[in-house]
Amino acid sequence: MNIYDTLNEPQKKAVFQTEGPVLILAGAGSGKTRALTYRTAYLIEEKGIDPYHIMAITFTNKAAGEMRERIGQMVEYGSEAVWVTTFHSTCVRILRRYIDRLGFAANFTIYDADDQKTLMKDLLKRLDIDTKIYKERSFLAAISSAKDELIGPVEFASNAKGDYAKEKQAQVYAEYQKELKKNNALDFDDLIYYTVELFQTDREVLAYYQERFRYIMVDEYQDTNTAQFQLIRLLADKYKNLCVVGDDDQSIYRFRGANIYNILNFEKYFPEAVVIKLEQNYRSTQNILNAANGVIANNRSRKEKKLWTANGEGDKIDFHQFETAYDEADFAARDITKKVYKQGYQYKDCAILYRTNAQSRLFEEKFVVSNIPYKIVGGINFYARKEIKDLLCYLKTIDNASDDLAVRRIINVPKRGIGATTLNRVQEYASYNEIGFYDALKMADEIPSIGKAGAKIRPFVLFIQSMRSKLGIISLTELFEELLETTGYVEELEAEGTDEAAARIENIDELLSKIAAYEETEEEPTLSGFLEEVALVADIDSLDKDSNYVVLMTLHSAKGLEFPNVYLAGMEDGLFPSYRSIVSETPIEDMEEERRLAYVGITRAKEHLSITGARQRMIRGETQYNKISRFVKEIPADLFEIPAVKPKAIEFAPKEEKQRADSFRKAKETFRSAPMAAGGYAAPRNFGTAKKEDLDYQTGDRVRHMKFGEGTVVQIVEGGRDYEVTVDFDTAGTKKMFAAFAKLKKV
């Protein structure tokens, strides 16, 4: 038996169909990565294709790394020559080699979101645009959307005529691009935009890469935008051996520019395309898949397919409609605790998925109280933290001193006593002479208005020049250590002596570890290469599957993941689907996108799915009363496990709600400062400080709790800084809680 006998029939067809355009419609959990990996191996081992001529593109570094590893395990020789990478990494590699033909230098900087915001803020100030009326974010969004559609500043301005707001955007777009060019910098959208421009304007470069990549495979094709489609179309135009893999039912990134019609109209663009459907799911039970099929069948714009599995029917789906969102979170905490202590699950087997980030608060509150370790995925990226941004800007300045934003960020970090007036005069000198900010700093002695301030600028310039001279001579690790020592960055943090400073030092140590790991894995490590790798890291790559904590995340963040036990929370009309989609100017398109998001959420579950909602929920400070989500009603009724006991309605007066919120804030501060447990928050034993003499009750006394009502104190046990109180409540049963957090009152 050969390795291909382990594939099902549609997978085999996907592997063996190597010539011409191929569309693989891969349903959730249908083994698409396996099919792509085997297809690559088949091309090399059976068809004799040189690995050098094979390209596989996906959307995240994590997915690319997994695919690269699997190919390496299957192909004994030459797998390292296969180009397995992301869209952005692909474009960076191409542009590093040929961007000089577009007027940029090869050592261009890649601007992240924070860099873009800083540049836009400075630009709008210079253009005297009132940011109270025209928000920075709106300009950046308009520019990004234009680049996704391959619309440059000139065409954008032409299309904007007669529309004042659009004309203002066109003005900013043109100036924004000029500033990027002056700084020898590209934003993320530029990476693809300029690569397409390069291919369209330089036939020699296009011919080289068309010959290089004779067999192209694209994963997650439903998430491609217009620019990415054109990039792939140009590369595949000569040999037409293009295999795209995706699921139109999982196209959920329209707000990022994804164009679902790239996959829906694939046969229109490539009439000779072979279409293969992968419908057997290897992840979930049939009841979960039937629920997903029932929901997604209501979409009109989709290609017909129906998921099935050999895993058996499995558990029915739990559905609970609670009185309040607090009850919803309480249920999840209790159910997770039961599954962990009585049913053999681990915390990492459980995930709470929700439509909006704001929904996480109540789950955090309950998990703190219940000693459940958790992690919110999609929070602040490691590389967006202040100390990391500062040090990366030092490295960017050393690598590419024409990056004005990086230079301006660090010139007074640590403080050098260079005032804002001095910096403004340097900027004026740079603008007047049409040179970069750093070049103006080097000429500070020639700027008459600066005076004695030049003596403070000179050491900074000499330091950067010294560090630049050592590139390629000492290792990146040594360079970074010298940077820390010379600037005294860590010394200043140590002098603070605070917990926050200690945490920042730990982050800097982690950055040093990242640099060292990069040097170990790269044959020819360079500072530019390291900065590229950092710039291309995606948030979801930070999820560590080996850490034992409950994951809380939005549905958009959950795509591509799977968990044995999933809680799909907030299933209410107005929340999910969102109110915006219900009243949208394009209600059909928006509602179908929301439905695809529900489909993605349902299909994350492997064994057990709980769907929850609340009759009333506090949103933006107002109590709203919502109906059950229409998506819940689209699930066949016979798939639900009817709850044996309906949850008791518990309502809070505004004062009690505030007391709970204040208590939670205090508890969360203690929780956040506890030792980290394998990447998540360790659940500490104590949430506050309580002394026994401060308690106005003792064992045997009657007490009142704002949620559980009245009960009798059964036991008080010392637990370090706090006391663990056991209370037998009249209606809620026996509960254990910490005194400082419980706020029990004697009655």
User: What's the rounded Cα separation, in Å, for the pair 578 and 584?
Assistant: 10
Q: Are 173 and 134 in contact (CB under 8 A)?
A: no
Is 604 among the residues known to form the active site?
A: yes
The structure tokens 């915006």 sit at 580
The structure tokens 């836009």 sit at 120
Catalytic one among 228, 250, 321, 616?
250
User: What's the rounded Cα separation, in Å, for the pair 698 and 688?
Assistant: 19
- Measured at the CA of 579, the angle between CA 576 and CA 580, to 5 degrees, comes to 115
Catalytic one among 112, 187, 219, 572?
219
Catalytic one among 17, 18, 33, 477?
33
SS3 of 200, please? helix
User: What is the 8-class DSSP label of residue 646?
Assistant: P
Q: Cα–chain-centroid distance for residue 476?
A: 28
Dihedral angle, C-alpha 162, 165, 170, 172, nearest 10 ° = 150
User: What's the rounded Cα separation, in Å, for the pair 113 and 311?
Assistant: 43
Q: Are 180 and 191 in contact (CB under 8 A)?
A: no
> Which of 197, 274, 278 minimizes the C-alpha distance to 242?
274
Is 346 among the residues known to form the active site?
A: no
User: What's the rounded Cα separation, in Å, for the pair 712 and 599?
Assistant: 46
User: What's the rounded Cα separation, in Å, for the pair 590 and 410?
Assistant: 43
User: What's the rounded Cα separation, in Å, for the pair 740 and 706?
Assistant: 14
- Measured at the CA of 615, the angle between CA 619 and CA 294, to 5 degrees, comes to 105
663 Rama class: left (phi>0) / alpha (psi -120 to 50) / beta: alpha
Q: Are 619 and 611 in contact (CB under 8 A)?
A: no
Is 726 among the residues known to form the active site?
A: no
675-680 long-range contacts, CB within 8 A, separation 24+: 677/373, 677/547, 677/548, 677/549, 678/544, 678/546, 678/547, 678/548, 678/549, 679/375, 679/542, 679/544, 679/547, 679/549, 680/373, 680/374, 680/375, 680/547, 680/548, 680/549
Is 220 among the residues known to form the active site?
A: yes
Is 659 among the residues known to form the active site?
A: no
Q: Are 530 and 518 in contact (CB under 8 A)?
A: yes
SS3 of 314, please? coil
> Which of 252, 185, 208 minimizes the C-alpha distance to 28?
252
Is 465 among the residues known to form the active site?
A: no
User: What is the 8-class DSSP label of residue 81?
Assistant: G
Catalytic one among 115, 220, 364, 572?
220
Catalytic one among 168, 302, 604, 660?
604
Catalytic residues: 32-33, 219-220, 250, 604
